[in-house]
Each structure stands twice: as C-alpha cells, then as structure tokens.
C-alpha cells in the first residue's frame, strides 16, 4: 500500500470537527494579499440543490483538465463541494467527465451504471469504488446524479465517470485483486477473438494465482521476465488487431479492455519496485519507488481518460492533494525516503501544460490530532472566512515571494508535506472546519 492510502485509511473515524488551532508562523504580506483576493464560496448542501460557481469557473478558464485535491479522505465538505462544482461545470462549462481516485478496472461498473445500466446503486458503489470510498454517501450521490443526468433525453452528450488509480487496491496493500485486470481483458478477447484468446490465456494462466503483491514476490527473475513478455504479447494483439476487435465489439469496450492490459502492466511495475513492508507499518527509505510507480500510473490513466473524451472533452480529476499537486512528495513521514517521488500532478503538468489547472484544498489540523497545521493552513485560516477560493497565480511582491518559498501543508491531519505553493497549485480552496462524512457500514 502506498503512503497516502496507508495514512488516510483510518482517518474517517478520527475526524470529527476540525477547527483552527494555534497560529503557525506566517507571512503578513501574504495574509493581507489573500484577504483582499479571497472569493467566498457559496454553500451547497447537495448536488441536487446545486450552487452558482461562476466565480470559480472564471478562475478555471478554458483548461481541459482541472485537478481538485482534498486534504484528507472522508471529510464531508470537500466531497460536497466536488459534487456541486462538478454539476455546475457540466451544466454551465461543458465538462464531460469526472475522474476519481479509485481503481480503473473497478470503475467500469460505475461507468456502466452511470450510463443507464441496471443494479442496486450501493452494490455498484461497493464494487466500483476502491479503498472503501463506497462508504461515503457523497460518492453515492455523485453516481446517482450522473446517471440521472445521462437518462435525461434532453442531454445529448452523456457524462462519463472514470477511476484512475491502480486497479485491485485493498485496505491491507496486498493488491489481492490485481488479477481482475487480466481476467477481464482475456474475457473480452474470449468473446470477440476466441481463437487468439486461448493461446494468450495459456501463457498468462501460470501467473494469475500469484498476481498480487505477496504472490509476485515468490516469482523468480526468469518468471517475472516471462510474465512481462506475456503481457506485452497480449497488448500487441490489442494493438495489431485493433480494427477487427472494434468491429466485433465497440470502440468503448475495446478501449476499456485494452486499458485493463495497461493496468496489469502498471501493477507489475508497482510490484517490481515494492519491497517487503516494514512489520511495524513504518515507511522505509526505498518505499518512494512504489509511490512513484503509483502516481505515474495515475497520471497515465488520467491522460487516457481525457483522450477517451475526445477533443471537446473536459475532465474534473478528484484525488488527494498529495496526488494532484505539481510537486514531489517531501517532508513529514516521507522524510525517510531516499528520493522524493513525483506526484501525479508533475506528470500531468509535463503532458498538459496550460491545459491543466491544479486546485489544492486546505484546512487547519484537527485539535488534538498528531499533526499541526502547516504554514499554508495557518496563513489561510487567518483570512477570516469560512470557506473561500484563492487564485494565487496573480500574486506579486512579498506575497508572491512567500508563495514561491517552501511551505508546509497538513496531510491527513497526522503529518505534513512540504511544497512551494505557487508551483504545486494554481488555486487554493480553504475550509475553516471539516466534518466527517457519515460512513455507511
């Protein structure tokens, strides 16, 4: 399991109400500038009621991908804002899809249901959201709203939902369901090209039972090489027989089946660099490799998702600040790393340039928690507004200098990350308090 999920998994139970603690050192010039430029955010109880986010949309401009971060998994306010903002972006700004920090393979269940498929929404969510995110009612609400929107015949362009995380994730970090990526790709070929599927399945079958983090560690070097070659052969069939496969199925089914093979390669790459976990659950110096592999995969999946949406597609990406930021993971519990791994946002900025806008979300650390508010959280708390948006790109003078220097930001209310805010984020959202999402059992 990578570090952000390892730290964040138990936080919903920890998180009750987050309030401003003691002020950390901050730059008075930045706080004064922020007070003059902060834009209040309208409250939005649910995606059904909606809200007017014209001020936010004006800051987003015409970018194709907006990456919105959250400071902790399981807080109600960022999830509710995500839902209301997404509705506004769809209805008023032409956004066509949302991409979430959940497994790519699993999310096709969300996609099918949102497109009008049958099933119980809670069971669909349980199977389609990884890391236990199905327990947050805001995620159920989002899925139901997208489905309702798509079933309205007046909406010619339908809305898509994607998971962009590594597939097969689970709470203990063993990736025991990794094999689903290959099973679904092979099942697809079994339907549309059965003769080819037989030989490909035969080559991969010996590895399926051990395609998990602990199982992969039992493979010899020669077996790993052969498995890698088997995956390459499988992907080659998808690429060389593309026209025939699409003709025998559909473009969408083909693309998702092919991306499952890519997802399997992502998992193998993750397993290749993942060492034995520390028995006490602590991070080890070499664990940066696993974080780097995961965020690289997430970025590739985001780029795949926006490619699926076509030239007129626009995508809202929602994930932890530690993934969306255009920065390397440093500070806090990650200071043990031999090297600071690049977050997903670094790869997206490299590929998308000005077509990407990164929004970080801040809130002071929970009183009594192990972590203290970072300098970013404390400075924004002193603006004195309940929740607001701040476009930090136009800052100048001492405010710009403060934003260009390394600052800290609370991560999961148990540790902190170090970033230069103006590089890591384009906009900042701030909530003066967070409450826990009412988790379903």
- pLDDT, one tens digit per residue, over 393-422 is 999 999 999 999 999 999 998 899 999 999
Mean pLDDT, residues 61-87: 95
What pTM does this model have?
0.94
* Ranges of H-type helices in 74-210: 76-93, 107-114, 121-128, 137-151, 180-192, 194-208
- Torsion angles phi and psi, residue 19, rounded to 5: -130, 165
Share of the chain above pLDDT 90, in %: 81
| pLDDT score of 378 | 93
Q: Is residue 311 scored above 50 in pLDDT? A: yes
Residue 14's pLDDT is: 41
Reported confidence tier of residue 50, pLDDT bands at 50, 70, 90 = confident
Inform me whether the pLDDT recorded for 242 exceeds 70: yes
* 3-170+286-431: CATH architecture: 3-Layer(aba) Sandwich (3.40)
* Residue 367 to residue 316: CA distance in whole angstroms: 31
Question: Nearest 5°: CA angle at 394, between 388 and 400?
Answer: 95
CA Rg value for the chain: 22
pLDDT at 68: 98
**pLDDT, averaged across the chain:** 91
Task: Yes or no: say if 438 and 388 are a contact pair by the CB < 8 Å rule.
Answer: no
Residue 199 has a CB neighbour count (10 Å cut-off) of: 11
pLDDT exceeds cutoff 60 at 290: yes
Distances (CA, A) of 244 to 240, 304, 425: 9, 21, 44
Res 25 pLDDT > 50: no
Q: 277 falls in which pLDDT band (50, 70, 90)?
A: confident
Confidence of residue 187 (pLDDT cuts 50, 70, 90): very high
Look-up of token digits 């200098």: 401
Q: Span 328-356, mean pLDDT?
A: 97
Residue ranges of domains in the chain: 3-170+286-431
Distances (CA, A) of 270 to 1, 92, 156, 217, 287: 10, 39, 39, 12, 11
Q: What is the DSSP string of 150-190?
A: HH-TT--SPPEEEEEEPTT--TTS--TTTTHHHHHHHHHHH
Strand partners, 318: 68, 100
pLDDT at residue 325, as a whole number: 98
The distance from CA 228 to its chain's CA centroid, rounded to whole angstroms, is 26
Alpha carbon distance 73, 399 (integer Å): 30
Instruction: Identify the weakest region by mean pLDDT among 143-157, 273-287, 330-344, 424-438.
Output: 273-287
> Between 16 and 311, whose confidence is greater?
311
Q: Looking at residue 206, what is its pLDDT?
A: 94
- Report residue 94 as tokens: 């032409």
The residue among 336 and 11 whose pLDDT is bigger is 336
Q: How confident is the model at residue 365 (pLDDT cuts 50, 70, 90)?
A: low
Q: Say what the pLDDT of residue 172 is.
A: 74
pLDDT of residue 6: 54
Average pLDDT value for residue range 27-44:
93
């Amino acid at each position: 399991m990578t570090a952000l999920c390892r730290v964040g998994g138990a936080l919903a139970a920890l998180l009750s109400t987050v309030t401003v603690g003691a002020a950390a050192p901050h730059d008075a010039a930045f706080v004064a500038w922020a007070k003059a430029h902060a834009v209040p955010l309208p409250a939005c109880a649910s995606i059904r009621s909606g809200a007017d986010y014209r001020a936010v949309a004006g800051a987003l401009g015409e970018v194709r991908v907006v990456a919105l971060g959250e400071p902790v998994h399981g807080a109600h306010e960022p999830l509710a804002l995500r839902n209301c903002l997404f509705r506004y972006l769809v209805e008023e700004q032409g956004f066509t899809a949302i991409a979430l920090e959940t497994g790519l393979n699993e999310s096709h269940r969300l996609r099918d249901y949102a497109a009008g498929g049958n099933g119980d929404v809670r069971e669909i969510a349980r199977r389609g959201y990884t890391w236990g995110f199905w327990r947050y009612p805001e995620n159920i609400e989002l899925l139901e709203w997208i489905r309702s929107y798509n079933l309205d015949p007046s909406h010619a362009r339908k809305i898509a939902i994607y998971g962009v995380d590594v597939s097969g994730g689970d709470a203990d970090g063993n990736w025991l369901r990794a094999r689903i990526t290959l099973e679904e790709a092979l099942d697809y070929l079994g339907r549309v090209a059965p003769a080819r599927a037989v030989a490909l399945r035969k080559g991969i079958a010996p590895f399926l039972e051990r395609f998990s983090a602990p199982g992969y560690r039992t493979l010899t070097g020669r077996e790993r090489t052969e498995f890698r070659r088997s995956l390459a052969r499988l992907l080659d069939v998808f690429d060389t027989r593309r026209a025939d496969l699409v003709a025998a199925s559909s473009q969408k089914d083909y693309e998702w089946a092919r991306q499952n093979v890519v997802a399997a390669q992502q998992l193998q790459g993750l397993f290749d660099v993942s060492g034995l976990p520390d028995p006490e659950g602590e991070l080890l110096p070499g664990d940066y490799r696993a974080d780097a592999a995961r965020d690289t995969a997430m970025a590739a999946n985001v780029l795949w998702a926006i490619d699926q949406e076509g030239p007129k597609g626009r995508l809202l990406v929602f994930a932890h600040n530690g993934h969306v930021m255009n920065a390397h993971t440093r500070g806090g519990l990650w200071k043990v790393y031999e090297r600071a791994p690049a977050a997903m946002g670094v790869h997206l900025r490299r590929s998308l340039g000005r077509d990407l806008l990164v929004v970080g979300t801040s809130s002071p650390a929970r009183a009594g928690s192990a972590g203290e508010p970072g300098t970013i959280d404390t400075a924004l708390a002193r603006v004195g507004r309940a929740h607001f948006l701040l476009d930090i790109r136009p800052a100048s003078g001492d405010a710009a200098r403060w934003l260009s220097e390394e600052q800290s930001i609370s991560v999961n209310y148990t540790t902190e990350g170090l970033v230069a805010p103006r590089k890591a984020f384009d906009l900042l959202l701030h909530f003066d308090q967070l409450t826990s999402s009412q988790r379903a059992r």
